[in-house]
Amino acid sequence: MPSGKFIILLYTFTSCLVSNNIQAQDKHEDKSRPLVYMFTIDQEIFKPALRIFNNAMDEADSLHADVILLRLNTYGGAVDVADKMRSRLLASKPETIVYIYNNAASAGALISISCDSIYMKNEATIGAATVVDQSGAPATDKYQSYFRGKFRATAEKQGRNPEIAEAMVDQDIAIPGIIDSGKILTFTATEALKYDFCDGIVNNEKEALAMAGYEDYELHEYKTSALDKIIGFFSSPMLSGLLLTVIFLGIFFELQTPGIGFPLLAAIIASVLYFVPLWLDGLAENWEILIFVIGIILIMLELFIIPGFGIAGVSGIIMTFSGLLLSLINNVKFDFSMTGSEDVSQALIILISSILLTSLGVYYLSTQFFKSPLLGKLILQDTQQSMEGYDVDLYKGMKLKGKVAIVVTDLHPSGKIELNEERYDAHSAGEYIARGKKVIIRKASGTNLLVEEIQED
């Protein structure tokens, strides 16, 4: 593909990723009927769920919806993400209704009690909001106190029993006839209705709306946008692993060839496709991407400027891998206390799998690729043997062995030397030799000049 067309295609794709996907195309035309806007959250309450939540709330506002109906099923998630949803629900101008069709645990319970009305399916539950760390153990009292206060304030704001709300967080709270001390409160639908913590038991969202007094209405449901599909596609573990493999392969082959070429371009494109969806989905934070970029810069500096391979190169590799790994983990800035062990395990599996695929790719591209039938017709396969009369010795008869020359480009270990105002390609036995150093030619045969640095003393 010509480079111009490729750049246009890449620009179009990235523009699609960063464009605003909220477009209120359906207008509320019938003013005589209330507009009900419905959307679903059936995942853990982390940044990807927050993005869907905000998109839906924005579209509901743009359509001037009268009612917002949230279909909810979640086992919980991050406290800060749930608090952002809570704040927006409490400030919402349209009436807010939540229909819990399975679980509203932990963060899901806070989101539920933030709505004006709660309706539950008969088998649904709500509660169990104790804050836990990544090992599943209860978090420190600082987190418990914060979450307990949020539950109490929210329940008071919505006219619900604040003690019941606190008992869902704090096991030390006892309510006679409801919960004993030492237990975390979880309500079934029947129990929630009995203690006025839900407004009705229903079988579906239509019954929930009817019980809330809405029978003749216009329904608008949040639909997955093209951007949502693109983010979901490129954020999938399998594709993330493949993109990581392309990044590693690109960096590896760029290190093997001088200058800037296609491997580096492929690595850059794969990095964009890897990070942008994760960034838009709320997983990759700015500082995590910055760590990756700094790591790449350090590797380039080590390769082209700093002699040898030392601290800069090792630090670059560590930072590059760290940036890629952290971008897959649900952390809140520098706080990893709420990061689940399963998130870390999945991220490590993706990263390690990509390294293994990279190793296989390096082997294949280095050995088998050029032997394939497709390239067999394009690449010269025959070899010229000396027994057949072929002999190439570029320096035969030049008597260069033992001569002293000057290094004119750094030897890494290959480079150029100068002898009698003539330049030659040369290489060391593996060590780095800086420009300006004197070397002695130890071997001059075939097309190779093997040199050794002359120590000044």
Residue numbers of the domain that contains 258:
227-373
Please compute the mean of the pLDDT values over residues 351-359 and round it to a whole number: 78
Are 81 and 163 in contact by the 8 Å Cβ rule? The answer is no
Same domain, 434 and 395: yes
Same domain, 255 and 209: no
Claim to verify: residue 278 and residue 365 sit in the same structural domain: yes
Q: Is residue 11 part of a domain?
A: no
Do residues 83 and 131 both lie within one domain? yes
Q: Which amino acid is at 297?
A: I
- Using the predicted structure, report yes or no on whether residue 206 has a pLDDT greater than 90: yes
pLDDT tens for each residue of 46-73 = 777 888 898 899 999 999 999 999 999 9
Has residue 389 got a pLDDT over 60? no
Mean pLDDT within 194-207: 95
Q: What is the mean pLDDT of residues 315-319?
A: 84
| Banded pLDDT at 2 (limits 50, 70, 90) | very low
Is 405 found in the same domain as 329? no
- Are 219 and 39 in contact by the 8 Å Cβ rule? The answer is no
Q: What is the pLDDT confidence band of residue 3, given thresholds at 50, 70 and 90?
A: very low
User: What CATH number is attached to the domain comprising 415?
Assistant: 2.40.50.140
Final residue belonging to a domain, choices 223, 243, 264: 223
Q: How many CA atoms lie within 13 A of 190 on its CB side?
A: 2
With tokens 């790449």, the residue in question is 296
Q: State whether 356 and 407 are in the same domain.
A: no
- Does 442 share its domain with 333? no
333-342, 393-402, 439-448: which has the highest mean pLDDT? 439-448
SS3 388: helix
Residues 6+ apart with CB under 8 A from 80: 332
pTM (2 d.p.): 0.58
Q: Are residues 234 and 214 part of one domain? A: no
Neighbours of 218 (CB within 10 A): 18
Structural domain contains residue 9: no
Residue 381 lies in a domain: no
- The answer to whether residue 97 is domain-embedded is yes
- Answer yes or no: is pLDDT of 400 > 90: no
Cα dihedral angle (99, 104, 106, 108), rounded to 10 degrees? -30
Q: What is the pLDDT of residue 139?
A: 66
Are 403 and 349 part of one and the same domain? no
Looking only at the bridges linking them, the beta strands covering 422-427 and 414-419 are: antiparallel
Q: Which two tokens stand for residue 237?
A: 């573990």
Which pLDDT value is given to residue 326? Answer: 80
Q: Are 226 and 21 in contact (CB under 8 A)?
A: yes
Q: Is the pLDDT of residue 428 over 80?
A: yes
Same domain, residue pair 81 and 172:
yes
User: For 110-136, b where at least 16 C-beta lie within 10 A, e where not — what string?
Assistant: bbbbbbbbbbbbeebbbbbbbbbbbee
pLDDT for the residue numbered 6: 47
The total number of residues written for the chain in this structure: 457
The backbone torsions φ and ψ at residue 186, rounded to the nearest 5 degrees and listed phi first, read -135, 125
Same domain for 165 and 89: yes
DSSP 341-405: HHHHHHHHHHHHHHHHHHHHHHHIIIIIGGGSHHHHTTS------GGGT----TTTTS--TT-EE
* Confidence tier at 236 by pLDDT (50, 70, 90): low
Q: 95-105 and 438-445: which strand pairing? A: unpaired
| Each residue's pLDDT tens digit, 133-180 | 555 566 677 777 888 899 999 999 999 999 999 999 988 889 998 988
pLDDT for the residue 74: 94
Read off the pLDDT of each residue in 74-82 and give the average, rounded to a whole number.
86
Between 226 and 193, the more confident residue is 193
Look-up of token digits 């599996």:
349
Residues 103 and 210 in one domain: yes
Please give the pLDDT value at position 99: 98
CA terminus-to-terminus distance, the chain: 57
The pLDDT value given to residue 319: 87
> Greater confidence, 206 or 360?
206
Q: Is residue 7 part of a domain?
A: no
Q: Which of 208, 223, 238 is the last residue of a domain?
A: 223
Percent of the chain with pLDDT over 90: 30
**What is the pairing mode between strands 414-419 and 404-407?**
antiparallel
Please tell me the predicted confidence (pLDDT) of residue 26: 46
Scanning the structure block, which residue is given the tokens 């229903």? 202
Residues 152 and 166: beta-carbon distance below 8 Å: yes
Mean pLDDT of the chain: 79
Q: State the pLDDT at residue 283.
A: 66
Could you give the number of structural domains in the chain? 3
